[in-house]
Amino acid sequence: MKWKDVSVFKFQELEKIGARTDIDLFEKSLLSVCIAFGLTPEELNNKGIKRVNTLIAKLEKVFVKPFDPQAPKRIGRYFLNYDPAKMTFGQYVELAYFLQYPMKNAHYVLATISRKMIMKNHPRRAEYFLGKRVDQVYGAMMLLRERFSRFNQEYSTLFGLSENASAAEDFFNRRYGWTYSATMVAAHEGITLDKTFLLPVRQALGDLAYLKAKGIYEAEQIKKK
């Protein structure tokens, strides 16, 4: 067994098992074997202790091997766009949320950045990526996170807290803050909320940067009065 044999779904399930605190290490090993090799607990129990130990050893060999992260241009039937600057505001907002927990949400991230879509439904595309190789997906996630972080650095003043603001007040750090941000852009552009999410990401972030600067300026003017 190699990393190429482990799907995104299996990897996510293995991570969940590893994070559990209600079972001991041996129980984790047994559950992990069931997930990795597609067995039910009953089927594993019927294999006998010698065979079980062999499967555990095979799985352990996989985990000691590091990923060979290579970002593919496509996974399965989908091409992937790793350039945030070429995305819509809606795609950017989705990534800002999903990338808080990269591998947990990897299938949703890939559904967001996939192009030339045969299936247009986001949940169905996400389900499609659950069955793909985790080593390829890991490489894709590494490259995307790097470029997403680099892109955000261009808007560091937009995402930073003001001197008098607390984290609770900073709508950019809250789950639903982007909806509020989108309504501000929609009002500024004079368009509907749905159309706002279709705007090029640079246009929307540029609007937000302007509105934030305008708000700071107006607050300073009020203080001077």
Can you give the pLDDT at residue 217?
Answer: 86
For residues 163 and 123, which has the higher predicted lDDT (pLDDT)?
123
Burial label, 192 (beta-carbon count in 10 A; 0-12, 13-18, 19+): exposed
Residue 91 pLDDT class (50, 70, 90 cuts): very high
How much is the average pLDDT of 104-118? 84
pLDDT (tens digit, 9 = 90+) per residue, 181-202?
A: 899 999 999 999 999 999 999 9
Token pair for residue 27? 């129980």
DSSP 167: T
Residue 166: alpha-carbon gap to chain centroid: 26
CB 153 within 8 A of CB 172: no
| DSSP secondary structure, 187-224, as one string | HHHT--HHHHTTSBHHHHHHHHHHHHHHHHHHHHHHHH
How much is the average pLDDT of 104-109? 96
pLDDT (tens digit, 9 = 90+) per residue, 155-168?
A: 888 875 455 544 44
Mean pLDDT of the chain: 87
151-160, long-range: CB < 8 A, 24+ apart: 151/84, 151/85, 155/205, 155/209, 157/209, 157/212, 158/205, 158/208, 158/209, 158/212
CA atoms of 137 and 132, how far apart (whole Å): 7
Can you give the pLDDT at residue 223?
Answer: 80
**Among 81, 85, 83, which Cα is nearest to 200's?**
85
Can you give the pLDDT at residue 165?
Answer: 46
Would you kindly state where each structural domain of the chain is located, as residue ranges? Answer: 3-64, 74-154, 158-224
Is the overall model pTM greater than 0.85, yes or no?
Answer: no
Q: What percent of the chain has pLDDT over 70?
A: 90
